Structure formats: structure tokens, C-alpha cells
Structure 1
Amino acid sequence: MAQFFKAQKRNNKTTRLPVLDIAVDTVDHHGKGICLTHKPIIVVANAVPGELYKIQITEQKQRVWFAKIVKVLKANEHRSAPFCQHYNECGGCSQQDFSASYQYQVKQDALEVFLRKNLDDSVFPPSVSFNDVLPYDDTVRTSIATDPKASKTPAIAYRRKARLSIDSRQASKVKIGYRAKQSNKIIDINVCPILDTPIQEPLFALTQVLKTLPIVKMLGHMTVLSDKQRQQVCLHLTKAPDYSALTQLKEATREIDLELTLELPESYEKSSPKSLVSLSNLVDAKANLAKCQKLNASFSICDDGETNIMLSPNHFIQVNAKVNIDMLKTAKQWLSLTKNDTLVDLFAGLGNFSLHFANDVKQCIAAEGVAEMVELGKQNAALNGLINVLFKHVDLSDVDAFKELNIPENSTFIIDPARQGALELMQVFSKLKPKRILYVSCNPISFARDINCLDEKYQIKQIKALDMFPFTEHIEMMALLERV
């Protein structure tokens, strides 16, 4: 007898997730508030202890619920009004509701709790702790120039490099800005207080002009670079512009006080790879790329007043100059390098550590996995007159590749890997037996994993939190490990 499939009736009723009044007990290393008294625990974004919230549960799992704040029922004394008009929709900052000093302390405490839980006391002794409180001036809530010699600095206006996206699908509603919170939607912004102060006015004058020009349809995004003396914006083109479009752009931006560079697509005169050029030079060359000088590194930074580092818009740098300077000073103090030392800088990049410490050591070996950055690192060494820095292109995940570096035993190592950490390097350390390892990390999870995989016995002697991105949940760190 034939049987026919009969579809079951769908239940169109949607389950309403609970709305609760709660307080959180702690903050985790991701910057999320955790309510431990509820079973299961509840994770609440942007929540801190000492406040009472009305929350909406957004997701329920067996062992953990996730929620968002609907209303703050009781605020603590550190809560303050956001200083940016785009805060509620822009995804750039996530924690402008509190003072920078309070956020730093909360993030530092959460980081220490995580590391204590995941590292043995023999590795992270109780006698070693985070005891540094960043001297933020929380009274400064607008982007104004401040005295560089002041004992305290504002947390705002810290970012010297940023990427702005462009949505030009509707000619009458061009949007230039950052992504929205938890979305790919672009929020059109006309102010950004976290950007370096000198770049703010010319940048937003530029974005307003771009919205009126046909060339905006050819732009994918823009990169902003700012230093004490120079401000630069690189426009990344997805289509090849003609001479008239370039001329129009130059004329329209003539009065805007910043340097304009272009990253041309491969389709531009069949250039491969993409070419970086000055807008002014390309127009002067009548848009003929063959007659226009291509740029390798078109910008420079000088954090210590002595060491110049050249870079292009596509190269990685520490975006927070103030924290980078503090990190370099701390590293110099901890390491106490001498002319008898060999310094090995892994994930060296453009030479942030290598170039700054080269004059303190006998030899510096700078290993980097990106060939382009190695070549620019060599140029930076020559620019600063440093003859004892050896930049090498090395696959840092290949243990055997380190043999060609001829690293002496008892060398001092600095490693500054990406978020995934440097697990493979732990095998290298077990063979080379470094005297000291300065580990700079943007991910405490991979840091703890790596340290636990060290074969040799190393112990944390110094540790410090780095607030590279104030007003966000992110926290970075540096730790000095010595062989015991």
C-alpha cells in the first residue's frame, strides 16, 4: 500500500527570550560582563560590576546565556556620557560609557585573573603582578591638543592610523566611515574623536568633497596616517580612473591640508602588483604611470625622537603612538641590554623593536615572514645608519628555518606575534635556550597556551597591560620571561 508524506504543521509561534534585571559579578578577559549568580551564567556586553541592568537575553545555550543591555537601572560613579555623537551606532568604540582609567583597571584585573587561572604559580609567581595604572586624564573628553610634557594624557585622539570604508552605491547617499556595531553596514561619520587631532579637520573636509566627485564610485576604502608633522590619506581604487577624474580630484582638494596618495588597481595600465603613487605626481605625469615615480614607503614615524621608520598605508604599525612609546621604554628598562648581547626580534615587521634597540646591543637579528616588510626593514636600518641589524625573511612556523640565522645560545628574544600566537616557536626556544624572552601579545589565550608549551623552565619576572585601544574591550600585554 502506498504511503504519502504528510507535512507536519509548522509552529509559527516565536519563543520570547527573557528580559531580566541583573547585576554582573565580574568582567572576563574579552571585556564582557559575567553574571555568575544566575544559572546558567549570563554574558552581557559592556556591563561592569557595581551597576544594575535590565537585559534582554539574545541567545540561550545549555551552559551560558548571552544578553544585551536594555536599560541601566543603577549606574556606578565611573559611568559618563559618550563623547562621540556616532557612538550608539558606530562599531569603532564599544566602551565610551566609562572613564578610560576605570576601563583600564577593569581590563587589567580581568587579564590577571585569566592568567592566574591558566598559568601555574611556578610560571607566574604570586609575587609578580600588574601594578601599573595608566595615567589617563579623564577630564579631557574632546579632541584638543594637549601638552606633551603633561604628567597625564587624555585617552582620546590616540589613533594615528585608521581605515575608513566607502559605500557609494547610491550617488545621493554616499557613506564614508566605519562599520556599524555587529554589522557590515557602513556608518557615515563626520567626526571621530579617537583619531589623532591634526588629521581630523582635513580628513572630514576631504570626505565631504569626495562625496561630490565621480571618482568616489571607484574607491573601495581609504587609509589615514597621521604623525606630528604630516597627515596623509591613501585612496584605494578598485577601478582605473582617467586623467579628467584625477585632475578634478586634485583641483577639488587643493585647499585641504594633507597629502593624498593613490593605490591604483592592477588594471591601471596593466600594473602588477598594485601601484602606490602621489596624486599630484600622477596628474603632473598626465596620468601616465610609466612616467610617474612609484612610492614604496611614503610616510614616516619617529616615536622616540631619533629613530625614523618608513612605511606605506598597507604596512602594520602600532596605531597608538603613546602606548607604543611606553612599551618601548618599558622594554628597554626590563631588558637592560648591553653591547655583549645578541637581540633576536621575531615578527619584526618594519623594525619597531630592532631599530630602537640596535645601538644597545652587539648584534640584532630581525626575522619577519612578509618579504616586502623585510626589504623595507633593511631600508629603515640604512636610513638610521644601523649596520648591526640583520633583517631576514623567515617562515616563522618552520623550526628548521632558524638554523640559517646562526643565533647564539643565551640570546635575548623579543616576539610580537599576531593573535594566533607563536606555538611553533616554543620548539625553537627549547633548542636555543634564550636567556630572556620578551613576549608582546594581543591575545592572552594564545599567550597562556604558548607559555605552557615551553619545554625549558621559564618564569615571568615582569608583566604589564597595554591599553592600545582605549574605549574598546581589547587589552594587550607584555611579559618578560627568564630561564630559571
Structure 2
Amino acid sequence: MKFFQQPGRARQRPQKPIAVTVEGMTHDLRGIARHEGKPLFIDNALPGERVMVRVDRTHGRYLEGYAARIDEASSERRIPRCEHSERCGGCSLQYLDELAQPGHKQQAVLDQLERIARLKPQRVEPPLTSPAFGYRTRARLAVYFHRKQKQLLVGFREARSRQVIHLNQCPVLAPELESLIQPLQQLLLEMDARDRVSHLELLQGEDGPAVLFRHLQELSGEDLHRLQRFAENHLQQLYLQPGDSASVHCFWQRGEDSQLRYSLPRYSLSLAYQPLDFTQVNPVVNEAMVTQAMAWLAPQPGELVLDLFCGLGNFSLPAAKGGANVIGVEGSAAMVQRALENARTAGVDDISFHALDLTQPGQLQAICEPGVDKVILDPPRAGATEVVAEICQLGPGSILYVSCDPATLARDAAQLRDRGYSLERLCTMDMFPQTGHIESMALFVRSGH
């Protein structure tokens, strides 16, 4: 059986491999076994496999390692489609059958809910899925120019390392973005500032692809001409970022509109955004997620819906189009402004947006009183522990929680249970096929409601 290359800095510290049988999977979809009485978390390993592991990190209570050889393979193991999969940190699960990935992710969420919160949902719905490749509509690529070797590297970081993987392909990217990789590498090689570009943002908008260049010095006139020629041949928009996020500006655009947009066709919505704004990378799963959220929450005319961490209005606008009165809250004032503009463009009136830091106490009391009917909660990976108590004080009949981390969902679910809410429905969303990232949606209903 093939030996696999060990990722990251551990490749410089080879150790004698140990033989283990993989007992199961962790919440981040690594294999788990035991060695000398300690849990061993294993990259590139599937349940039931017999593997040879190189331990590369030793902690007080557990170990971490990499399956350098597979002696007995799982029936779910597959040959990765991408030539960079063994080293690249962008995808971590290409060795797992794409049809099996959603089931493992669902089980990881259920395990975390049981282990941390002692909770089982009353109903578990089928996972929301998309094509396993060609789904990703945005990505950040690192750029590194080795001055002595005159070598340019453009790609993702290596797993467990800052080293840049030079990409020849990336099949999880939308085809329009994957086709830009090699032309962008050639463009950067020709630029005077090839060693002063730190990264690229690749974005697939409604109208076509766009690229943002983050550069660390002023670009020469010739470089600007090179960028314009490239954009005319390949792009819908080209953005430059010479400093912090406030410095982002559109350098070139095709036509009059410099805005990027993504759509929610079911709701006849087109949402404008800027390159560094948060948007979901998988449009198929995003629309399915929004559609299911609206079906579960069922916002009605006259109801007051509170949408926390609302971003550009991904959930707020569909809820308002259903007739509800919606209050959206987001930490970024710039995002709030764009959400307001999206509402105006969509002709949605019964909606307001507020820029508030929800990690600070007492924020919600400033914008609403008890009597909120329903809440949409879509927090970052850290979860929403700071705001759960305030939400419950408002007395909503139901809370729709959209999570990107099973552990923080389970932690917050325990708080909601202790405040009188039951976990009625759960669904996972495979927003990031081929990776260990897990998104889920949970509906909590107030007892007796």
C-alpha cells in the first residue's frame, strides 16, 4: 500500500510509525484511535482502517498524527481527484467517498450534541448537499516569490504549515475560477511587483469572475497596464487592496456596475457585496439552506423576526419578503449599509438593520422589547454564548440557529435547553464538500409554545 507524504513541518521530523486500528471519527472528521492509553487523532484515516501513523504532536492528554500508510483500507476510501490533495490545506477529505461525507458530518454533529449537551433532536432531516466539485465561488490564494530561486508560488497554504502550495489545479473551485489559476501565475511572473503581492481573492459573481490583488507597494504604470489587459481578457471586475480593508477599490470593471452580486432565485433576490464581505461560498447549498430556514421558521405577516449576525441580509430579506417585520443586527457598519441598500433594491420596506456588537451585554434591549416572535441566529465559529440569555429574555417562540461549528452549537444548545427551549429539528449542510468543515441548522422551540 502506498506511503503518504506527511504534511507540514512534521515532514522534517520523521518518526517511527506505529500501527493502530481506527475506531471512529472526531467532530472535525479526523480518525481516532488510542495509543499508550491516550487518544490519537489521525489525519488521512477512516473508521475501521488499519494504518501506520507518524505521531507529530504530543500533548498532555492526547496525540496527533498522520496516516503515512494504509494497510487495510475502508470501503469508503477513494483516490483523490486533485494532485495536490496530500499536501494542500484547502481540502482535507478527498480520500473519503463524496457520497459518504454528508453522513459522517451529520453523525459528528449528533455526537457533539449528545456528548456536550446530552441532547437529541426530535427530528433529523436529510443533509443539504451540492455537487462535490466545482462548487466554490470564492477563495483566497497566497502568493510568495522566492527571490534567490526566482520562483513564484501561488496557491493555498500547506496543511499545518505556512508554506505555499503551487497550484496547477483546484477542482473544488467554480470552473471559471479554476481556469484563472495558471493565467494569474503568468501575469504575476511578468509584474514588476511580483514579490510585493501577498495574496489574491478569487470571486465568482453573478455576472462573471473577479479578482482582488493585495499589494504591499504602489504599482508601477506598466503593472497597472498589465492588470488592465488581463482584466479585459478574463474578468468582470478587478479590485486592488494597497492597505487595510478600507483601501479596497475597484480598479477595472466591465460595464457600469462595480458591485459583485449573488442571487437567491427562489426569492427573486440579487444581493450586492464587496470582495472582503462575508458570503457563503456554495450557492447551491446556500439557497437550499435559506429555503429550508424559511420553511422551518415560517415567518408570517405581522410577526417580528430578529435576525442576528445578519450580514448582507441572506436570511433577513427572504423573511421580510414573506411579510414579517424584520430587524437585522450585524457587527460591521459597512455590512449594515450594504444590507440596507440590498433591501432598497429589492423593494423591501418592513425591515431595519443595526450595527451592534453582540458580544457586549444589553445590546438587544436598545432596539427591541420583549415580544419578538422568532429569531434567526447565524453566529461565527465562536458561537453565540454571550447573547443567548438576552435572546431568551425577549421570549421568542422559536429560534433558528445556523452553526458552522458543532462544538459551539452543542454548548449553546445546552444553554437554550436550560432556558426552556427544546431541540425540535436538526439538519446538516455540506457547504464545503471535500473538507472537514461542518454547517448545521437547528430549530429550537419554547416549551409549551
Relative contact order, CA 8 A, sep 6+: which one is greater?
A: 2
- CA shift, 1:252, in A, is 4.9
Indicate the SS of the match to 1:187: coil
CA distance in 2, matches of 1:112, 1:197: 34
Where in structure 2 are the equivalents of 1:38-77 lying within 5 Å?
A: 39-61=37-59, 63-77=61-75
Q: Which residue number in structure 2 is paired with residue 304 of structure 1?
A: 265
CA distance in 2, matches of 1:161, 1:379: 22
CA distance in 2, matches of 1:69, 1:215: 40
- CA shift, 1:463, in A, is 0.3
Contact 2:370 2:395 in 1 (8 A): no
Evaluate the alpha carbon distance shift between residue 162 and residue 22 of structure 1 in structure 2; reply closer, same or farther with a 3 A threshold. Answer: same
Q: Which residue number in structure 2 is paired with residue 10 of structure 1?
A: none
CA distance in 2, matches of 1:253, 1:211: 16
* Paired residue type of 1:262: L
Contact 2:137 2:203 in 1 (8 A): yes
Are 1:241 and 2:241 counterparts? no
Are 1:181 and 2:162 counterparts? no
Q: Which residue number in structure 1 is paired with residue 420 of structure 2?
A: 457
Map Cα deviations across residues 352-375 of structure 1 (whole Å, 9 max, x no partner): 100122111331000111111111
- Aligned with residue 159 of structure 1, among 125, 132, 136: 136
Which deviates more from structure 2 when the two are superposed, residues 54-63 or residues 109-118?
A: 54-63
- CA shift, 1:51, in A, is 1.5
Q: Gaps (5+ residues) in structure 2? A: 1-12
Map Cα deviations across residues 312-349 of structure 1 (whole Å, 9 max, x no partner): 11100011111111111111111122102111100011
Contact 1:163 1:222 in 2 (8 A): yes
Contact 2:14 2:54 in 1 (8 A): no
Contact 2:128 2:285 in 1 (8 A): no
Contact 1:433 1:456 in 2 (8 A): no
* Paired residue type of 2:48: G
Map Cα deviations across residues 228-257 of structure 1 (whole Å, 9 max, x no partner): 531111112221123332123323554334
Evaluate the alpha carbon distance shift between residue 430 and residue 58 of structure 1 in structure 2; reply closer, same or farther with a 3 A threshold. Answer: same
Q: Gaps (5+ residues) in structure 1? A: 1-14, 136-152, 267-271, 282-292
Indicate the SS of the match to 1:35: strand
Where in structure 2 are the equivalents of 1:99-138 lying within 5 Å?
A: 99-121=97-119, 124-125=120-121, 128-134=122-128
Evaluate the alpha carbon distance shift between residue 362 and residue 89 of structure 1 in structure 2; reply closer, same or farther with a 3 A threshold. Answer: closer
Q: Percent identity?
A: 29
Which deviates more from structure 2 when the two are superposed, residues 15-24 or residues 104-113?
A: 15-24
* Paired residue type of 2:136: R
CA distance in 2, matches of 1:397, 1:224: 31
- Aligned with residue 274 of structure 1, among 244, 247, 259: 247
Indicate the SS of the match to 1:357: helix
Which deviates more from structure 2 when the two are superposed, residues 433-442 or residues 356-365?
A: 356-365
Q: Which residue number in structure 2 is paired with residue 355 of structure 1?
A: 317
Evaluate the alpha carbon distance shift between residue 257 and residue 314 of structure 1 in structure 2; reply closer, same or farther with a 3 A threshold. Answer: closer
Evaluate the alpha carbon distance shift between residue 211 and residue 432 of structure 1 in structure 2; reply closer, same or farther with a 3 A threshold. Answer: same
Where in structure 2 are the equivalents of 1:32-431 lying within 5 Å?
A: 32-36=30-34, 39-61=37-59, 63-121=61-119, 124-125=120-121, 128-134=122-128, 153-170=130-147, 172-265=150-243, 273-279=246-252, 298-304=259-265, 306-431=268-393
Map Cα deviations across residues 201-247 of structure 1 (whole Å, 9 max, x no partner): 23432332222221323322111111353111111222112333212
Q: Which residue number in structure 2 is paired with residue 287 of structure 1?
A: none
Evaluate the alpha carbon distance shift between residue 89 and residue 332 of structure 1 in structure 2; reply closer, same or farther with a 3 A threshold. Answer: same
Evaluate the alpha carbon distance shift between residue 440 and residue 167 of structure 1 in structure 2; reply closer, same or farther with a 3 A threshold. Answer: same
CA distance in 2, matches of 1:50, 1:462: 30
Map Cα deviations across residues 247-302 of structure 1 (whole Å, 9 max, x no partner): 23323554334432222337xxxxx9414022369xxxxxxxxxxx9x9x720110
Using the size of structure 2 for normalisation, the TM-score is 0.89
* Paired residue type of 2:398: R
CA distance in 2, matches of 1:48, 1:186: 27
* Paired residue type of 2:81: F
- Aligned with residue 430 of structure 2, among 448, 452, 467: 467
Map Cα deviations across residues 122-170 of structure 1 (whole Å, 9 max, x no partner): xx35xx24341556xxxxxxxxxxxxxxxxx521111101111111242
Map Cα deviations across residues 62-111 of structure 1 (whole Å, 9 max, x no partner): 54232211101111222111101111221111111121121221221122
CA distance in 1, matches of 2:248, 2:205: 23
Map Cα deviations across residues 164-203 of structure 1 (whole Å, 9 max, x no partner): 1111242731111110111101111121111112222234
CA distance in 1, matches of 2:212, 2:330: 25
Evaluate the alpha carbon distance shift between residue 406 and residue 256 of structure 1 in structure 2; reply closer, same or farther with a 3 A threshold. Answer: closer
- CA shift, 1:452, in A, is 2.0
Indicate the SS of the match to 2:165: strand
How many residue pairs are counted as aligned between the two chains? 431
Contact 1:263 1:277 in 2 (8 A): no
Greater than 6 Å deviation, 4+ residue runs = none
Evaluate the alpha carbon distance shift between residue 74 and residue 131 of structure 1 in structure 2; reply closer, same or farther with a 3 A threshold. Answer: farther
CA distance in 2, matches of 1:117, 1:26: 15
CA distance in 1, matches of 2:446, 2:159: 44
Evaluate the alpha carbon distance shift between residue 363 and residue 178 of structure 1 in structure 2; reply closer, same or farther with a 3 A threshold. Answer: same
* Paired residue type of 2:422: Q
Contact 2:313 2:339 in 1 (8 A): yes
Contact 2:29 2:105 in 1 (8 A): yes
**CA RMSD, Structure 1 to Structure 2 (Å):** 2.4
* Paired residue type of 1:340: G
